Structure 1
Amino acid sequence: MFTDEMPHRCEAIMVEVGDNFGAVLVEFNGEHDHAHLLVHHPPKVALSVLFNSLKDVSARLLRKEFGPHVRQYLWGGHLWSPSYFAASCGGAPLSIIKEYIETQKRPD
């Protein structure tokens, strides 16, 4: 679904949303149909609330800005799946996690 331009715009949107929660988007990358995020967030912020907002705002703005292209990839009217996977990386060096995310292939 992602064109060359879309991951960059999606990342910018998610940085802004994260800022509103006091969260920092440390790394962002994705493949043609999903995204990987490394997020440092305050413990007082529930992950479900943060990720719902990241998905809601990015979906709304990407649909608005890339409408005709995005519409052909919607699932029942939705851009993102309602699920997400989150894992703590407190024991792993952040450089290893960042490297993993950086090596994900962005669409050509």
Structure 2
Amino acid sequence: MEYKSNNNVVYSCKYHAVFCPKYRRKVLVDGMEVRFRQIAGQVADELSFEIIEIKAMPDHAHMLLEVDPQLGIHKAVKRIKGRTSHDLRQEFSWLKTCIPALWTNSYFVSTVGGAPLPIVKQYLENQKSV
């Protein structure tokens, strides 16, 4: 198992997060998935956490994240949702007429725990065919 560290914490905190567009609309299409990944990557770089895997379907997004416990998973997910909503609605103006906000207020998060990362990655990959 690999551990990360900052100035005073050594950690291995991996999370599976899922969130959906408002009304479960199928809006992550036509290049939005690629742009979503880019913006999420920028947020991860700014806040110093790692996005291990992203699978964006038209009506929801799965993410496998490794987050510093001092930052917290809540702050990481909320910042990704906030920035992607703002930027995508600016770049894809049709979203403003389609839904009042890009994401719902809620999200699902679960610790990966002792599950091997290849198994979790395989699960995320299989979500495309569900």
Higher strand share: 2
Whichever residue aligns with residue 85 of structure 1, its letter is: F
Alignment TM-score, normalising by the size of structure 1: 0.87
Cα RMSD (Å) = 1.5
Q: Does 1:103 align with 2:126?
A: yes
Query: Percent identity over the alignment?
Result: 33
Structure 2 residues without counterparts, runs of 5 or longer: 1-26
Q: Which runs of 4+ in 1 moved over 6 A?
A: none
Residue from 34, 37, 41 that aligns with 2:63? 37
Alignment TM-score, normalising by the size of structure 2: 0.73
2-structure distance, mates of 1:42, 1:87: 15
2-structure distance, mates of 1:4, 1:66: 10
Residue from 64, 79, 82 that aligns with 1:56? 82
Provide the secondary structure at the position in 1 that maps to 2:87.
helix
Query: Match for residue 13 of structure 1?
Result: 39
1-structure distance, mates of 2:97, 2:53: 28
